[in-house]
Structures are given as C-alpha cells and as structure tokens.
A and B are shown apart, each in its own frame.
Chain A
Amino acid sequence: MKRSLLAAALVTFGGATWAETPTLTVYTYDSFVSDWGPGPAVEAAFEETCGCDLVFVGAGDGAALLSRLKLEGARTKADVVLGLDTSLIANAKATDMFAPHNGIPSDLDLPVVWSDDVFLPYDWGYFAFIYDKTQLPDAPTSFDQLRKSDISIIIQDPRSSTPGLGLLLWVKEIYGNGAAEAWEELSPRIVTVTKGWSEAYGMFLEGEADMVLSYTTSPAYHLIAEEDDTKAAAIFEEGHYMQIEVAAKVAGSEHGQLADDFLEFMMSDTFQTIIPTTNWMYPAILPSNGLPDGFVAENQPEEALLIPIDEVEAIRKEALAEWLSALSK
C-alpha cells in the first residue's frame, strides 16, 4: 500500500516534470523584441493558446541574425527564425538549416506572387526616401530627378545595413548596366553613409540632409504616434524596391509542432493586427479591421520592384563592387 502511494506520488511528480511547459525559441532582429516593437504583444497573444513559453532572442539586424545562426550551426537553440528578408533567403536556404512550411495562405496581400516553400512572409514595405514637406516643398518624383537635383540625402551602407542593401538592389534593378553611372551622379548628393538605419534616420531628423533612405511607411509613425504630418515619402516613377520580411522553421528544432503552430499564428489576424503600429510595415495579410487611420499615405508606389530570390546574391556582389568604386572616386 505504502509502496503504491509512493509510486503514485512519483508518477504525479514525474508527470508534473514532464508536463513542464516547452519553450519555443524564436530568433529575430533586435527592434522586433524591443519594448516598442511587436515582440511583447506577440508573445502575450501566442502564449495564451500555445501552452508554451515563447522566448524571443534579438540578434542585431536581419543579416546579423543569419550569421548568428550560421555561427551556432546545428547546436542552435532557435526553433524559428523570424526577420530575414528577400535578399537573404537564398543565402539562408543554402545553409540547409531550415525546414519547409505547411503551405502558403491563399489570402496574402503582397504586390508580388509568393511561392517559396520554406519561408513565409509576415510583413513587407517599400524602400523610399523620406523628406520634410516644410523643408522640401518640391520633392523629386523619380530617381532621374533626384540624380539631377541638388537635394542632399543620407543613405545606409549596403555592407552593414539591410535598407542600404535594398537601395543598392533598387538602383541596380532600375538602371542595370547604368547603375555605376547612376551612383557616380548620385555621389555628390550623398551627405554621408551610415552603419545602420537608426543613425541615418536620426541624422535626418536633426536636419543633416533633405532626405533619408527609409520606408514608405515611416511617415505613418510620425503621423500616428507623434501627430506630426510633416514627413512624407517621395514616390518615384520608376517604381520602388520591396522588402518582404520572412520567417521559417529551423530544421533541427525539437519543438517542430510548436514551431509550425507559431508560423500559423504568424499569419493569423491577431499577429497581423499587431504589425502595422509596432513594426511600422504593411502586414502580409490585411487585418479584418483594416489598417489604422493614416497608415496608408495617399501617394503610393505604382510599381513594385523585386529581384528574384535566387538571383540576388550574384547581383549583390556585382552591384556592391560598382557602388564601392563609384563612391570611392
């Protein structure tokens, strides 16, 4: 009798240990996990239903995230990686560290067709130059105009920043073989090149340049969070290069089912509703309540530009060499 009690106690105790809530580890970029990013709200919402502990680990920006994963290799703790973008996908797939997803939702609201079998998009945006309407009444309406103008711009370095890389690919996509020439013409317009987005945007706000490379959704932050309607994105006739942010399941994950659940949750209305005013990007699927007032500016890009995923790496190398030589003159 005593023995069976003990056994029962052991079973209960052991059972409690086994039922310990599993931890789902999601690697992402730093601004996603910050108190002002989507992280905290996403965590709370997912933990309500998953019966798990969701832990976000912030690792610099998208590029740093991928190199972190490569550094850790098979021993990585990550179950899901969230925050790579279209220019990194080919590189990421080459590591064989990611597993295919369970299917693409049919109701994606992207300007392009999505067909990748490993990565799922959760938000997207257009790169654009942001300016202050009170300081620059006549913003350029095309890249060609910007090249010929005397407008000063701040950009980010494509060797250390994702928007910087986006601009590199944008210029390459528009001008192709003429990209080197375009950069040479743009060179005097460039006040400086910063390491990351924050430095560039901060310097623009302090008045160091007329325009700064950011996203078409940046003015929405100023309008919605600060009630400041002076900022606008210059819409260019040639079209705007896109950034699509994606996530995928890590192949070696011990919590494969949870990881799949998280990816499904990522495409849900709850997650997608959080995105606009925390990540300041367009959600991949329009939330049922629509976008917040003022989020979509009247003026929108007419053409979305995007280099196919498997061509990015080769084009990046060539474009970077052109950029370096043009701006080092």
Chain B
Amino acid sequence: MVIRPQQISPAIRWSGLAALLFVALLVVGPLVALSLRSGTSATLTSADWAAVRFTLFQAGLSAGISVVLAIPVARALARRSFRGRSVLITLLGAPFLLPVIVAIFGLLAIWGRSGFVSQILQSVGAERLNIYGLSGVLLAHVFFNLPLVTRLILQGWGRIPVEHFRLSAQLGMSPKDVFLRLELPMLRSMLPGAFLLVFLLCITSFAVALTLGGGPKATTVELAIYQAVRFEFDLGKAATLGLIQFVICAIIAFWSLRAAVPVAFGGGLSAVTQRWDVSSKLMLWQDGLVLFAVTGFLGAPLLAVIGRGLPALTSLPVTIWPAILNSLTVALFSASLSVLLALALAGFIDRLKSQHNKMSSMIEGAGLLTLAASPFVLGTGLFIIIHPIADPFALALPVTALVNAAISLPLALRALLPALQHNRETYGRLTSSLDMRGWSRFRLTTWPAIRQPLGFSTGLAAALSMGDLGVITLFAPPDVETLPLIMYRLMGAYRMDEAASVALVLVALTLTLFWLFDRGGRLGHQT
C-alpha cells in the first residue's frame, strides 16, 4: 500500500490564506497609511539608531535568560508530582498577564530602593538595592516571560511518551543519557520558537524599559515611535522606525524558526508521566530548590500587588462595573478571534510542512510578526485609515478587540502549532491509512491533541486583552471605560490607593478568566 501525503483540503487552504491575508493587512496597512499620510521620507538620527541597538540587545538578552532559566523549572515541574502542582502551573500564567504598570509596582515592592529586599539589606547594615538600569529591565522581562516559556516547554515534556521513559529505565540509562536522548531533542525543537516569542514580546517594551531602565540610555524603538507620533507628529519617522523594527524581527524570526530541529517521538498512551530516572536525593533537592525559588520570585511581587490593593477595595467608584463589562466583552471577543485565526493559520502551516517546508516556515514567521508591529503604529495607522470613512469612537471596542487579537495571535500559534505537528507526526500515517478525514479525524485525533494548548492560548489571549491599554486610548469614546483606563485615571488624579485596588480587581478577573480557559483545556488531563 502506498501512502501519499494528504492533499490540503480547500477549507483548510482558504481559511489559512484568509487568516494570513488578514494578518498581513493589519500589520502592513498601518505602516503604509502612516507613510502616505506624512508624504516625506524621514531621516534617522544617531539617537534613533542607538535605540534600535538597545532594543535588540535587551530583547535578545531577556529572551536568552528567560529560556535558559525556564529549562530547569519546566523540568522540575515535568518530573515531580506534588500537592499544589496544578495551582502552581496556573499561577505561572499570572506574571505574564499583569498589566505592565501593575507589574512594575509589584516588582518595586520587592526589589525597589525601599522594597522588601532593600529593607532587609538595610536592617543588616548593607546598602540598599538599586535595580534601575539594564538589570531592572532584565528582571522585569524575565519576570514576565520566564513563566510563559516554562509553560511552553512543559508542553514539550508532556509530549515525550511515558513509554520512552520506561524503556530508558529498563535499559538502565543514566539521567544524563535520558537528557541527551529524550529531553535534549525535545528542547532543540521547542527552544528556538520560545526564544523568538520572548524576543518579539520584549521588542515593543516601552514603559518597563524606560521606568526600570533608569533613563534615556534605555530608550527603545517603541519610545522613539511614541515620541515621533505624540510629541513631534513626525508620522514618516514613526513609519520608518516601525518598518526597521519589523524587518529586523522578520530576519530573526526566519532564522530562529529554521534553527528549530523537528523531533518525532511517536505516540504514547498519554498517561501520567512516571519517571524512573530521577529518584536520587540530589535531584529531588535540586528540583525542590528550583521550584521554591521560582515560586518566590514570581509569587512575591504578586503578593505585593494583592496586599497593596486590599485596603481601598471597598471605596472603589461605581463606574468600575460598566468598565468590568467592557473589559470582559473585549477580552472574550478578541480571544475568540485570536484563537480562530491561530487555528486557521496553524492548520494550514501544519499541512504545508510536509510539502513546502520553506514556505510553511515563512508563513509561520509572518504569523508571529504581529508581535513586532508597534502598537502605536498599529493604533495610529488604523485611526488614519478609519477616520475618513467611519467614526473611530463608534468602533472603539471592535478595533481594540481586533488589535488585541492580532497581538495575541503569535502566542496562540506558538502553543498550537507544535501540538498539531506532533499529532500529525504521530497519527498522520495511521489516520491516512484508515482514510480518516474531516470531522471524525478532527474529533478523534486532532481535538485531544490541541485542547490543552487551545485552552491555554484562549486564556492567554483573553487575559492579555483585559490588561491592555494600547489602542483604546486613541479610539476610546468619552463614555467607554475599561479597567486599565480607570486605573490610569485614578493614578492621574493622585488616587494611588484606589488605583492599586482597581489593579487588584483587574488581576483577579484576568487570572480567573485565564484559569477558566486553561483549566477547561486541561480537564481530565495531566500535564
């Protein structure tokens, strides 16, 4: 019997192409709109180039550190089962979901000049900490992204069939051998994509880089764009900077996706991964220490946010209720859109892989690049496009949801694609030989493989959208408030305590939303 690779069905092809076109229009359209509107070509100063260099430098370093640190954390989580493990995994989502400003204040409560650590240092007569500078930027970016990478790699561990571990135990393989034969190949397939994701996430960092970077030394391209749009109204320069950022990211995206070495483990029975190679006392201590440290590192700022928000919780303005509703609406809408886009793209890329490997990598890269698009360029460009034909205020919530969906698309893609590929490598030939197609194929093989990453990425997209304040500021009509907007308005009116309470409400809601989706995807499963 000859098994030919399955043809790509028209449904998958057209929905994939439509999603691709949509993303391309959304990313390129605003750049074009800005350039056309300004009509002049911009000249970049040496300060702009310094910003480009710093942006790449901090993003590369942040991504590198996050990925390296995530490996032991994910490994410890993958090979240990303990009470509260599931809660810990959910909480791993928290830092990533904190609105930037909330996270900054949480981090400062621990690491700031009058934070927890500094107070301990001072009480023993030592100098207090000064994290402002590159170390502050890295600290925040690792705080945001270490948990994300951990979750992504953890999925990779989950895909190594338990049978492989059993077999290696029967063969008497040492932990080192198990690492080299099973875990390293898995990491080599996962890490480049994870690195790329964090790199892209850190590229558009603005408030973190500036606030914790300590001054203009830590100027990112995004700040230069903000300055060009807001202070100098030099739209041509904003477009040029946006384009440079975009091209650099595209090169790096293509390069790192090529660096990923695909791996095929074959199928297993997906039971709880029991491990036989990790029972030594030393490794137990090692894992325990890693998990303890990471819980402290991620949990302490979170506790600070909660503690800071509690006192004024009862004196919140009533406008918070409609704002909650607005935020939830935008979040759910943009999460659905983001996941639909991701599914369409991922299905298409996955099918292309077997026939046109290069092209599928390019499409995958394009799908990730919405992260490299500057939110300011995106927002301003869309405003220029929409303003002549419709009232931007009337479209505030849809546009916000749309942009948020585009920005969280890469995360969903990153989570879904490996699962789909793994699934095809494992069951592809079997389903083809059984001539299983369409719905039954989806229900029996694809759905079980993607429901976990699907739940995870829906949760992420919804939560990210909740905390976002990027686009809404430009489009927001006078009477539509979202939670982050209320929080900023309170801060702008000296009411820091109430702002901290709104932040707490925001964080609690965001986490709940994330938990609901993530847990929904993991029900009946063990990761």
A interface residues (Cβ-Cβ under 8 A, vs B): 30-31, 33-37, 55-60, 63-64, 66-68, 70-72, 75, 152, 157, 159-160, 187, 190-195, 197-199, 201-203, 205-209, 218, 221-222, 225, 280, 323-324, 327-328
- Whether a CB of chain A sits under 8 angstroms from the CB of B360 is no
User: A289 vs B476: C-alpha distance in the bound complex, in angstroms?
Assistant: 37
List residues of chain B with CB within 8 A of the CB of A35. Answer: 317, 319, 489
User: A191 vs B132: C-alpha distance in the bound complex, in angstroms?
Assistant: 7
**A–B Cβ pairs within 8 angstroms, 27 of them:** A35-B319, A37-B489, A37-B493, A55-B478, A58-B476, A58-B478, A60-B230, A63-B231, A66-B233, A67-B229, A67-B230, A71-B233, A71-B380, A72-B387, A152-B113, A157-B216, A191-B214, A192-B213, A192-B214, A193-B211, A193-B215, A199-B104, A199-B211, A202-B491, A206-B108, A206-B109, A324-B216
Contact A30 B216, beta carbon cutoff 8 Å: no
User: A203 vs B50: C-alpha distance in the bound complex, in angstroms?
Assistant: 27
- Residue in A192, A205, A207 whose beta carbon sits within 8 Å of that of B132 in the complex: A192
Quick one: CB contact mask for B132-146 with A, threshold 8 Å, 1 for yes?
A: 100000000000000
Which residue of chain A lies nearest to B393 when distances are taken between CB atoms in the complex? A57
List residues of chain A with CB within 8 A of the CB of B388. Answer: 75
* Number of cross-chain contacts by CB at 8 Å: 139
Which residue of chain B lies nearest to A279 when distances are taken between CB atoms in the complex? B493
Q: Nearest Cβ in chain B — how far from A322, in angstroms?
A: 11
List residues of chain A with CB within 8 A of the CB of B493. Answer: 31, 34, 36-37
- Residue in B210, B216, B473 whose beta carbon sits within 8 Å of that of A323 in the complex: B216
Quick one: CB contact mask for B207-223 with A, threshold 8 Å, 1 for yes?
A: 10011111111000001
Contact A221 B494, beta carbon cutoff 8 Å: yes
List residues of chain B with CB within 8 A of the CB of A206. Answer: 105, 108-109, 112, 114
Q: Interface extent on B, as a size class?
A: 35 or more
Which residue of chain A lies nearest to B391 when distances are taken between CB atoms in the complex? A77
List residues of chain B with CB within 8 A of the CB of A56. Answer: 478
User: A157 vs B407: C-alpha distance in the bound complex, in angstroms?
Assistant: 27
- Residue in B105, B210, B226, B489 whose beta carbon sits within 8 Å of that of A202 in the complex: B105
List residues of chain B with CB within 8 A of the CB of A328. Answer: 50, 215-217
Q: Nearest Cβ in chain A — how far from B350, in angstroms?
A: 41
Contact A193 B216, beta carbon cutoff 8 Å: yes
Judged by DSSP, the binding face of B is: helix
User: A45 vs B105: C-alpha distance in the bound complex, in angstroms?
Assistant: 38
List residues of chain A with CB within 8 A of the CB of B494. Answer: 201, 218, 221-222, 225, 280
Contact B47 A159, beta carbon cutoff 8 Å: no
- Residue in A34, A191, A201, A225 whose beta carbon sits within 8 Å of that of B113 in the complex: A191
Q: Nearest Cβ in chain A — how far from B475, in angstroms?
A: 10
Which residue of chain A lies nearest to B319 when distances are taken between CB atoms in the complex? A35
Q: A160 with B47: in contact, given A191-B113, A192-B211 (CB under 8 Å)?
A: no
- Residue in B216, B384, B473 whose beta carbon sits within 8 Å of that of A71 in the complex: B384
User: A34 vs B206: C-alpha distance in the bound complex, in angstroms?
Assistant: 25
Q: A70 with B233: in contact, given A202-B491, A280-B494 (CB under 8 Å)?
A: yes
Q: A198 with B216: in contact, given A58-B478, A152-B113, A159-B231 (CB under 8 Å)?
A: no
Contact A195 B114, beta carbon cutoff 8 Å: no
- Whether a CB of chain A sits under 8 angstroms from the CB of B474 is yes
Q: Nearest Cβ in chain A — how far from B527, in angstroms?
A: 37
Q: A57 with B478: in contact, given A202-B496, A221-B494 (CB under 8 Å)?
A: yes
User: A21 vs B104: C-alpha distance in the bound complex, in angstroms?
Assistant: 46
User: A225 vs B233: C-alpha distance in the bound complex, in angstroms?
Assistant: 37
- Whether a CB of chain A sits under 8 angstroms from the CB of B276 is no
Contact A198 B491, beta carbon cutoff 8 Å: yes
Which residue of chain B lies nearest to A95 when distances are taken between CB atoms in the complex? B233
Which residue of chain B lies nearest to A160 when distances are taken between CB atoms in the complex? B226
Which residue of chain B lies nearest to A91 when distances are taken between CB atoms in the complex? B233
Q: Nearest Cβ in chain B — how far from A280, in angstroms?
A: 7
List residues of chain A with CB within 8 A of the CB of B113. Answer: 152, 191, 207-209
List residues of chain A with CB within 8 A of the CB of B473. Answer: 30, 59-60, 64
Contact B488 A208, beta carbon cutoff 8 Å: no
